[in-house]
Amino acid sequence: MNTIKRFFARVVAWFKAGDAERDFNRALAIIPQVAPVVEAIAAAAPNKTVAEIRAAYDRYAVPISAQLLTAEGLNRGLLLMELATTVLTALVPMSIPTRILQLAIQVVYTAIKARK
């Protein structure tokens, strides 16, 4: 129970300190760089099939294990998030932490889904 209390205390502190707003603003600032890649990956794998995901990884020359790709119970959306993160890591400044990059990816993907 103490672990849960500590977790929520940290979350509350993160919001109270203004860190959440700062992180979100950093994510918004890189959306122009992130959007084209996320849109291309989303278009390449609209149904998140094994073949679509394989083709998306091949398009960006990012290796992926066949075992991982076909693992039962694997969230294929996470594979696409990992692909976008890998590709975009090379495009955004080194000072951008992965959590900020992934937040920007999620914002763009949510916007794509909202348009449909």
| Tens digits of residue pLDDT in 66-77 | 898 888 888 999
pTM exceeds 0.85, yes or no: no
Which pLDDT score, from 0 to 100, does residue 21 have?
Answer: 83
* Whole-number pLDDT of residue 77: 92
Answer yes or no: is pLDDT of 14 > 80: no
* pLDDT tens digits for range 31-40: 999 999 999 9
DSSP 74: -
> With 70 as the cut, is the pLDDT of residue 7 above it?
no
Q: Are 109 and 48 in contact (CB under 8 A)?
A: no
| C-alpha to C-alpha distance for 102 and 97, rounded to whole angstroms | 9
- Residue type at position 49: T
